Amino acid sequence: MAAGSPWAYPGTGQEGAPAGPAVELAGVGKTYPGGVRALDGVSLTVERGSFLAVMGPSGSGKSTLMHCAAGLDTPTDGRVFVGGTETGALDETRRAELRRERIGFVFQAYNLVPSLTIEDNITLPLRLAGRAPDREWLHALVERVGLAGRLDRRPAELSGGQQQRAAIARALVARPAVVFADEPTGALDLRTAREVLHLLRDLADGLGQTVMMVTHDPAAAAHADAAVVMADGRIVDTVPAPDAGDLARRITALEVG
Ligand SMILES: Nc1ncnc2c1ncn2[C@@H]1O[C@H](COP(=O)(O)OP(=O)(O)OP(=O)(O)O)[C@@H](O)[C@H]1O
């Protein structure tokens, strides 16, 4: 982490982490009951500290890929590693533990608990894991996402952008190996969406946080270090330093082709 970065804070959780990629998929396939082959031989390496976008036409397998990568669903073939741990080798209890402690989630619909304050929402993953929040880290996090002074509010008292920033802080509170974001800007207006994307970019640059984001929006994907494009359950393109116009053309070609 660069000295003087907004994240300059002792012990961001990345130190001493095992070497190697944050996420690795090797020949992952998924056939749903009923026979739909949603993933077909997907291999993918997400380097530590990188921001990867997953794009592709509707039904191409993006959500299935994210669910399998995040241990929310089990592939029918292939292997998935998160922070060096093979998720398929864990029983459901251990996999739930891994999701809680090593993976952060951000969803389009924020998924905050309406009855809890913003602070209690942010610290929920830690409390579920029986861990006390690190007050200094929590403070740095809420400052950075711009929610200092709003910690005692309930989600309904915040704008959509503020709720999504609270969800991002919640995703980061346990210092996960990777944050999975599923259409995180889908419910936001353009300006607020851009703020949230800048925040995700900043997490990768300033904190070395690995982020994997599913999006339909080429302009959102352009904030990532690279985009993978899916079609029919396969990765058909990997685009480094993606450009929104170029990505839009590639997706349109897949949709009409
Ligand atoms: N639970 C399920 N049972 C059976 N088939 C499913 C299930 N979930 C998804 N599928 C099918 O698997 C394929 C991939 O779906 P998936 O949701 O991963 O695509 P996607 O790219 O995320 O789509 P979208 O952009 O529309 O969300 C589709 O053909 C879909 O109909």
CB contact set of 6 (below 8 Å; sequence gap of 6+): 144, 202, 206
Q: Is the CB of 35 within 6 Å of ligand 1?
A: no
- Taking the CA of residue 216 as reference, the ligand 1 atom at the shortest distance is 25
Quickly list DSSP for 79-117: EEEETTEEGGGS-HHHHHHHHHHHEEEEETT----TTS-
Q: Quick check: is 4 in a domain?
A: no
User: How far is it, in rounded angstroms, from Cα 198 to Cα 213?
Assistant: 13
Q: Quick check: is 71 in a domain?
A: yes
Q: Model confidence over 57-113: pLDDT tens digits? A: 999 999 999 999 999 999 999 999 999 999 989 999 999 999 988 999 999 999 999
- For position 18, what pLDDT does the model report? 56
Closest CA to 37 of 28, 50, 24: 28
User: How far is it, in rounded angstroms, from Cα 160 to Cα 91?
Assistant: 36
Q: Is the CB of 215 within 6 Å of ligand 1?
A: no
Which residue among 62, 232, 234 has the greatest number of ligand 1 atoms within 8 angstroms of its CB, and so is best to mutate? 62
Domain of 99, in residue numbers:
23-256
Q: Quick check: is 198 in a domain?
A: yes
Q: Quick check: is 1 in a domain?
A: no
Per DSSP bridges, beta strands 211-214 and 226-231 are unpaired
Q: Is the CB of 60 within 6 Å of ligand 1?
A: yes
Q: Quick check: is 225 in a domain?
A: yes
Q: Quick check: is 127 in a domain?
A: yes
Query: Which residue has the CA at smallest separation from atom 3 of ligand 1?
Result: 32
Q: Is the CB of 56 within 6 Å of ligand 1?
A: yes
Q: What angle is formed at CA 102 by the lines to CA 100 and CA 104, rounded to 5 degrees?
A: 70
Q: Model confidence over 161-181: pLDDT tens digits? A: 999 999 999 999 998 999 999
* C-alpha of residue 30 to centroid of ligand 1, in Å: 10
Q: Model confidence over 174-211: pLDDT tens digits? A: 989 999 999 999 989 999 999 999 999 998 998 899 99
Residue 17 has pLDDT above 70, yes or no: no
* C-alpha of residue 38 to centroid of ligand 1, in Å: 6
Q: Quick check: is 199 in a domain?
A: yes
Q: Quick check: is 3 in a domain?
A: no
CATH number at residue 93: 3.40.50.300
Mean pLDDT of the chain: 90
- For position 128, what pLDDT does the model report? 87
Task: Provide the number of structural domains found in the chain.
Answer: 1
